[in-house]
């Protein structure tokens, strides 16, 4: 149907986006790759030496590496667990008949629109502050000693803050998926005498499988990269230094660009593993 002229016009229309993204991807990534094989210290004049894979080895053998991997896994895993489980429950709940459904939905998704620095600081100061935070008021009300959240329970605090931000995302997507469920199927199961729990287990949950996978993959990619929430709260101390934060510190704080770049390449590889799975699912969707 498309003529030759319209084909070349289409290619012309596509070109700016492709060229921009290609440049955006290739130029900095190539630079990072080159830096990662160098001893590159901006404070001492920049490029000093080619060092082969030394930075890669040093990055993974440094004492900060495994704790950072651990922190990353705990934060990503913890947030995923909380948001997916609560997200499913909330989505099922919000799908039930009730009064004021639209308003409840607005209340539930609101945290997603709060900028990360605001949620980090509001939680840190107004809720988790050991002297004046609302949570410490609550603890004292029950006669308990307030928890010093961001130092004594630092991981739990970060997980709580980030989960609060991402629960709306999981809920909204799972709710959209539930609403596309054929209600006749549910009604038929109901008539056959299936209990609410078995209806959930045998019909709703399998129907949600794909949406859950998508939520997990997209959230993983974003959660691996969380930055501002840690930047404004613990600054990576008290065991909350994730891989992203470690690389950031290597590059901009201690200005060891070679070492940080090797870490950056590890981060790119890690993100791409999850991205591959996500793109498979999304790609299948394109064919339909």
Partner 1 sequence: MARSVTTQRKTLNTVIAWGIGLLIFFPILWTILTSFKTEAQAIADPPVWFFFDWTLENYRVVQERSNYSRFLWNSVIIAGGSTLLGMMVAIPAAWSMAFVPSTQTKNILLWMLSTKMLPAVGVLYPIYLIFIQLGLLDSRIGLTLVLMLINLPIMVWMLYTYFKEIPGEILEAARMDGAGLRQEILYVLTPMAIPGIASTMLLNIILAWNEAFWTLNLTAARAAPLTAFIASYSSPEGLFYAKLSAASTMAIAPILIIGWFSQKQLVRGLTFGAVK
* Closer CB to partner 1, 14 or 85, in the complex: 14
Interacting stretch for partner 1, rule CB under 8 A, among 48-56, 71-79, 181-189, 219-227?
219-227
Complex with partner 1: residue 238 or 248, whichever CB lies closer: 248
Phi, psi of 130 (to 5 degrees): -65, -20
Footprint on residues 249-268 left by partner 1 (CB under 8 A): 251-252, 257, 260-261, 264-265, 267-268
User: Which sign does the torsion angle of CA 57, 221, 92, 159 carry?
Assistant: positive
Find the length of the chain: 288
- In the shown chain, the binding pattern of residues 60 to 99 toward partner 1, with x for contact by CB under 8 A and - for none, equals ------------------------------x--xx-xxxx
Q: Which residues ranging from 94 to 153 are in contact with partner 1 (CB under 8 A)?
A: 94, 96-101, 103-119, 121-127, 129, 132, 134, 137, 140-141
Number of residues that bind partner 1 (CB under 8 A): 105
Gap between the Cα atoms of 11 and 24, Å rounded: 20
Q: Interface mask (CB under 8 A) for partner 1, residues 181-210, using x and -?
A: -----------------------------x
CB of residue 230 vs partner 1: minimum separation in angstroms?
11
Shortest Å, Cβ 256 to partner 1: 10
Structure tokens that stand for 224 in this block: 């691996």
Judged by CB under 8 A, which of 227, 237, 253, 254 binds partner 1?
227
Report yes or no: 64 and 241 within 8 Å, Cβ to Cβ. yes
The H or E element containing residue 14 is helix 4-36
Token pair 């082969």: residue: 52
Contact status: 157 vs partner 1 (CB under 8 A): no
Nearest to 130 by CA among 114, 143, 115, 146: 146
In terms of Cα–Cα distance, which of 184, 190, 186 is closest to 206?
186
Q: Which residues 6+ apart lie within 8 Å of 178 measured at CB?
A: 91, 92, 95, 204, 207, 208
Q: Which stretch binds partner 1 (CB under 8 A): 53-61, 64-72, 199-207, 243-251?
A: 243-251
Work out whether 282 is an interface residue with partner 1 (CB under 8 A): yes
What single-letter DSSP state applies at residue 114? S
């Amino acid at each position: 149907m498309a003529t030759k002229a319209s084909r070349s016009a289409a290619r012309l229309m596509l070109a700016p986006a492709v060229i921009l993204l290609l440049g955006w991807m290739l130029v900095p990534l190539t630079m990072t790759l080159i830096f990662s094989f160098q001893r590159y210290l901006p404070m001492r004049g920049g490029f000093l030496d080619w060092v082969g894979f030394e930075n890669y080895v040093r990055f993974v053998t440094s004492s900060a590496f495994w704790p950072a991997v651990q922190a990353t896994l705990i934060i990503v895993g913890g947030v995923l667990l909380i948001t997916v489980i609560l997200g499913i429950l909330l989505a099922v709940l919000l799908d039930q008949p009730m009064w004021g459904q639209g308003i409840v939905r607005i209340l539930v998704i609101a945290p997603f629109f709060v900028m990360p620095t605001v949620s980090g600081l509001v939680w840190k100061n107004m809720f988790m502050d050991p002297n004046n935070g609302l949570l410490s008021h609550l603890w004292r009300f029950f006669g308990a000693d307030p928890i010093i959240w961001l130092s004594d329970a630092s991981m739990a605090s970060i997980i709580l803050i980030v989960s609060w931000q991402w629960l709306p995302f999981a809920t909204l997507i799972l709710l959209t998926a539930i609403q596309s469920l054929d209600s006749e199927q549910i009604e038929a199961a109901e008539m056959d005498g299936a209990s609410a729990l078995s209806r959930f287990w045998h019909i709703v949950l399998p129907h949600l499988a794909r949406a859950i996978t998508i939520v997990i993959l997209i959230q993983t990619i974003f959660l691996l990269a969380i930055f501002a929430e840690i930047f404004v709260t613990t600054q990576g101390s008290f065991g909350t230094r994730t891989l992203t934060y470690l690389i950031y510190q290597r590059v901009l704080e201690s200005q060891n660009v070679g070492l940080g770049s090797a870490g950056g390449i590890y981060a790119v590889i890690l993100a791409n593993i999850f991205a591959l799975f996500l793109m498979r699912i999304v790609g299948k969707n394109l064919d339909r």
